[in-house]
Chains A and B, each alone.
Chain A
Amino acid sequence: SAVISQKPSRDICQRGTSLTIQCQVDSQVTMMFWYRQQPGQSLTLIATANQGSEATYESGFVIDKFPISRPNLTFSTLTVSNMSPEDSSIYLCSAREGSSDIQYFGAGTRLSVL
């Protein structure tokens, strides 16, 4: 099974600043995903990130607010831009293991915006 590491595990940020979250997978994967989990809620997909192409964003999420990079088959970043308190959430990275069609998740980044 793929092991996914996210950095930072948590951060407290000021309104108007940006934070970049890193996601590292211990094996090569074609598809990676970014989710948001607001306090007390379930997970919501932000975007799908494939290596070599632009990320595909879900309704309600835009590239200017959540730019994503996917430079290779083991790494991706999600930036939360111009943050407001409403962006306080857990952000989770996920990767799909192609041979088994199973998705594995990182432990998440707990973001608080003041």
Chain B
Amino acid sequence: DAKTTQPTSMDCAEGRAANLPCNHSTISGNEYVYWYRQIHSQGPQYIIHGLKNNETNEMASLIITEDRKSSTLILPHATLRDTAVYYCIVRVAGYSGAGSYQLTFGKGTKLSVIP
């Protein structure tokens, strides 16, 4: 699976949009970009995933560049409850042989939402 690079930490004012970048310059054509977050003392929570088109759900928007080498997770109106570590993960969706479906977690970005 392709490796991702994320900033170690970011701050965002409450009520503003939080834009979390992720670089995945070695991504393959059949690899998806997944975003998870982990709020303190909880298990990781799925946020969103996409292949090449921008995606939006009730939690966030995912913007993937045309060359697919980077992406941005957008939380449109950050609240204090969005304070968490955000993980960007790249992997093939579906079965692709041994090790399929595994999620490889990096260090993620610690987002602090400031009142």
Contact = CB atoms under 8 A, between A and B. Distances in A.
Interface of A: 1, 4, 31, 33, 35, 42-45, 48, 56, 92, 94, 96, 101-108
B94 interface: yes
A56 B44 CA distance: 22
Given A92-B43, A102-B46, A108-B43, A45 B108 contact: no
Interface residues of B, number: 19
Given A101-B94, A102-B49, A107 B101 contact: no
21 contacts: A1-B46, A4-B43, A31-B101, A33-B102, A33-B103, A42-B106, A42-B107, A43-B44, A92-B44, A94-B43, A94-B103, A96-B101, A101-B101, A103-B103, A105-B45, A106-B43, A107-B41, A107-B42, A108-B41, A108-B42, A108-B43
Interface in B57-107: 87, 93-94, 98, 101-107
Given A45-B104, A48-B102, A94-B103, 13 more contacts: A1-B46, A4-B43, A31-B101, A33-B101, A33-B102, A35-B105, A42-B87, A42-B105, A43-B44, A44-B105, A45-B102, A103-B103, A108-B43
Contact of B43 (A56, A96, A105): A105
Interface of B: 41-46, 49, 87, 93-94, 98, 101-108
A101 B94 CA distance: 7
B105 A43 contact: yes
